[in-house]
Structure 1
Amino acid sequence: MNASLKFVIGFLLAANFSFGQDYHKRIDSIIKASHLANPEIGISVGFIYNNVPYFTAYGKISQESRQLIDSNSIFEIASITKILTSNLIAQAEMDKKIKLDDYIDAYLPREYVLHKNIANRIKISDLASHQSGLPDVDFGKLIAADAQQPLRNFTQENLTGLINTCTELADYGKYRYSTVGYTLLGQILEKAYGKSYDAIIRERIFRPLHMSASLTKAFIVPNRTTGHGPNGVIQEFFQWNVTAPAGLVKSNAADLVKYLKAVLDTGSTIGKAALITEKIFYKDEKREMGLGTNIVSDDNNTLYMKSGDSMGQSSIICYNRARNWGVIILLDYRNSKMRNDLLNQIAEVLQ
């Protein structure tokens, strides 16, 4: 390599780092201002720009603790789990374990017996793009019975009964957000690979990316944040039971930026699978949906994103493939408006 080429490469790398540092300062000022306005809410943000990670955080892991929130603090990512599940579904198609356009009937565990009216109608991609028409978990009823752990009493027996007694798909082909759809996708994965969902996500996402802090079943750890409902009341982390593939993961900004880096790398298995999840499988006048991925476009940018709201925390993951950046926002309060406002401000900086 000649001296002039080395100089150009060095200049470009330095310029890229300089831009990243500028973005970091601007994003940090956004997060700081938000925390000053809402000092009770802890925030952890990670973003990646041209493969370089940056982090900022404000607040404490609980009101009683002196431990500050940082990039390693554990939050509920709730329904962001669905975007991990959809990536696994895309990997399963790449492995020729499934076909997205196949009907779900042959892929479901044998305890499911679909009624003749709905047999051979629902495709795997319909589950993943929230248009299957299947009945869903009645969260209102479950919350009324157990506000801290509403899913405690929703069992495999309940799920099997819900599916096997379904005789029509009243809104098939129309968007309706579905926890049951992603629960079934997890069970399709288990049948395809002959392993538990927990084992699959660890083997195919957590371990390859060294996401050692991402948790599923055991999440009592010293750096865990405390969840709060909109009224400030402390809320336990959910135990997802049979519905695990729809929301069980607990993680942190450091690990989720590793995931974003892999997603943006189209040479990686996870990156190739992400490209499949970004294809449009559903579109109406309000939204475009990939596999678990919300697609938002204008004349200049296309953003891929997924939000997560538990009873006590709010989060969102978002990336712009063309401009090679991604961001994760984690709040220790359920406050979707604040989360969305932060994303809009951060995206404006990074565009």
Structure 2
Amino acid sequence: MKSSSFLLALMTLFIFSCKDKPKTTSKNENATAVQKSMNTNASRFLKDESVTAISIGIFKDGNKYTSHYGELDPNTGNTPNDSTLYEIASVTKTMTGALVAQAVLEGKLSLDDDIRTFLDEDYPNLEYNGTPIRIRDLLSHTSRLPGNNKGIAEIMQTINDSTAFKFNAIEMGYSQDDFFNYLHEIKLDTLPGHIYSYSNLGANLTGHILEQVNHKSYDNLLKDVLFDNLNMNNSKLKLTKLDSLNLAQGYNDKRTKMPFLPLGKNLWGAEGGVKSTVPDILNYIEFQLDSTNVLAQKSHEKVYTFSDAEYMAYFWPVENHPIHGIYYEHHGGAFGFNTFVYVYPKYNMGVVVTTNTSGAKASNVLDNVVLGLVDDLKPFGKKSITYAIEDSINTNVNDGVTYYKELKENKPEVYDFSDENSLNSLGYRVLRSGDTQGAIKIFTLNTEEFPESSNPFDSLGEAYLEEGNYQMALKNYKKALSLDPNATNAKEMITKIEALVNAS
């Protein structure tokens, strides 16, 4: 299974020793180190033929740094800048979460409120065996509401160049009456609050609830609570014609122009309608890192627990990592954009990276940029094994695997070998390059390193499927499912492969 911001490998808290205390560096030294890291990691990103531009923002020890690379439109030389607006898509949800936190602090909402309290009509269908959907279920994506508005699931079954335009046609014609009529049709399949299932519809419904309890539009709530107070002066739900001049054109990975999301035009846009700049997001990151800010801290409180190592805050997925400690991250993916925001309280650091290219390939590469930046700039702790062996892997996979084993034996105190995603991400880079056999070797190593984890076997199954080896693909997907009975991707792939085998 591809690791991404929202497939989340979430881990345990690391208590660092005295020897891990950060050394003191000057502002100039920090600036030089930050710029060097941004240049290096941007260069890695732009090697991917599917992308042409990237913007990076770093908040570190109270200072903000931005840098922009490439060209927004192919063969134009128009490099992005601090005024460039990007669709940040689902990163918007974390802002919606902050507005909910504000309403809770003001006593306007409780996390355990039945959401039907804030709806004008009766919805007896929005409960299961007497258990209603609560506010916390919306915030944690455990409401059991559908992922999107009516009709979206059907068009998303086939992804091609026309999908975005079909999506936009539905959303552009979708009214609030349509939204609430669809709510009447929904039938919950299990108890809310127990099973995670990402729901844009639920996040958008949260926008309506916020309007009800505040007697103010969602758009104005964003402005009054967040944008004005955090000097996010260029962040908007709805753009003027002048604003639109700074909005980057989005592309898919084939460099085909994509339509802009119409979110916030007819409905609330609480699931992904905000457009923003890198400097504005750095101000937002600074707010997230302010340990004295009651609103920021409230929005980080746990509302749903996956395990000791992972939970959901107010629309924030939270990881509890053995090296990085507790950190918050969210991905925003539109039809022409990818954005990642990571916040690391332990390092007093946050990162935003964004590009006007959509798709899983750009998303995975962009996420690796974040990991590279963090590995370079964190003030203490072990280094990522990913970047230590990357060059060896790219030159010769066998040499890279050997080098990994040598470092694990000889330098376990220097490099972090605890994160299964390190090898997983390398495996996918090799797989994307067309070297299926090389990817199989890396994924196999990962299953040996993490024999009790489902995801490495899922990834190995994908590589064997790519190779056309159905027997080995099935074997590894079944192993992934045995280790995690909730591994939905493994279930789906087993069904598909068995159908292929029976048809042949």
Task: Tell me which interval the TM-score lies in, with the shorter structure as reference length.
Answer: 0.7 to 0.9
Deviations 1:236-290 (A, max 9, x none): 21111315100000001010000111111122354233333xx251315995322
Report the aligned-residue RMSD: 2.4
Alpha-carbon distance in structure 1 between the residues aligned to 2:170 and 2:256: 16
Q: TM-score, normalised by structure 1?
A: 0.88
What is residue 322 of structure 1 aligned with on the other side?
346
1:233 paired with 2:253, answer: no
Alpha-carbon distance in structure 2 between the residues aligned to 1:205 and 1:117: 33
For residue 71 of structure 1, give the secondary structure of its aligned residue in structure 2.
Answer: coil
What is residue 5 of structure 1 aligned with on the other side?
none
Q: How many residues align?
A: 337
What is residue 96 of structure 2 aligned with on the other side?
85
- The offset of 1:234, in angstroms, is 0.3
The answer on whether the counterparts of 2:344 and 2:350 sit within 8 Å (CA) in structure 1 is yes
1:96 paired with 2:107, answer: yes
What is residue 265 of structure 1 aligned with on the other side?
290
Alpha-carbon distance in structure 1 between the residues aligned to 2:303 and 2:27: 32
Specify the structure having the higher radius of gyration (Cα).
Answer: 2
What is residue 191 of structure 1 aligned with on the other side?
212
2:312 to 289, 292, 300: 289
- The offset of 1:217, in angstroms, is 1.4
- The offset of 1:292, in angstroms, is 1.1
What is residue 308 of structure 1 aligned with on the other side?
332
- The offset of 1:190, in angstroms, is 0.3
For residue 297 of structure 1, give the secondary structure of its aligned residue in structure 2.
Answer: strand
For residue 246 of structure 1, give the secondary structure of its aligned residue in structure 2.
Answer: coil
**Structure 2: gaps (5+ residues):** 1-22, 157-162, 379-504
Alpha-carbon distance in structure 1 between the residues aligned to 2:354 and 2:231: 20
Structure 1 residues 230 and 287, CA gap change in structure 2 (3 angstroms): farther
- The offset of 1:180, in angstroms, is 1.1
Higher relative contact order (CA 8 A, sep 6+): 1
What is residue 152 of structure 2 aligned with on the other side?
139
Corresponding letter in the other structure for 2:372: Q
What is residue 254 of structure 1 aligned with on the other side?
279
Alpha-carbon distance in structure 2 between the residues aligned to 1:177 and 1:320: 24
The answer on whether the counterparts of 1:185 and 1:245 sit within 8 Å (CA) in structure 2 is yes
1:155 paired with 2:175, answer: yes
What is residue 6 of structure 1 aligned with on the other side?
none
What is residue 166 of structure 1 aligned with on the other side?
186
Alignment of structure 1 residues 33-72 onto 2, 5 Å: 33-38=44-49, 40-63=51-74, 65-72=76-83
What is residue 8 of structure 1 aligned with on the other side?
none
For residue 181 of structure 1, give the secondary structure of its aligned residue in structure 2.
Answer: helix
1:299 paired with 2:322, answer: yes
1:244 to 258, 269, 281: 269
For residue 346 of structure 2, give the secondary structure of its aligned residue in structure 1.
Answer: coil
Alpha-carbon distance in structure 1 between the residues aligned to 2:168 and 2:309: 33
- The offset of 1:81, in angstroms, is 0.3
**Structure 1: gaps (5+ residues):** 1-11
Alpha-carbon distance in structure 1 between the residues aligned to 2:335 and 2:41: 25
Corresponding letter in the other structure for 1:298: H
What is residue 179 of structure 1 aligned with on the other side?
200
Alpha-carbon distance in structure 2 between the residues aligned to 1:324 and 1:286: 20
The answer on whether the counterparts of 1:183 and 1:246 sit within 8 Å (CA) in structure 2 is yes
Corresponding letter in the other structure for 1:348: D
What is residue 333 of structure 1 aligned with on the other side?
357
Q: Provide the identity percentage.
A: 22
For residue 296 of structure 1, give the secondary structure of its aligned residue in structure 2.
Answer: strand
What is residue 125 of structure 2 aligned with on the other side?
115
Deviates more, 1:61-70 or 1:236-245: 61-70
Structure 1 residues 71 and 269, CA gap change in structure 2 (3 angstroms): farther
Deviations 1:175-211 (A, max 9, x none): 0000111111111110111000001000000111111
Structure 1 residues 177 and 57, CA gap change in structure 2 (3 angstroms): same
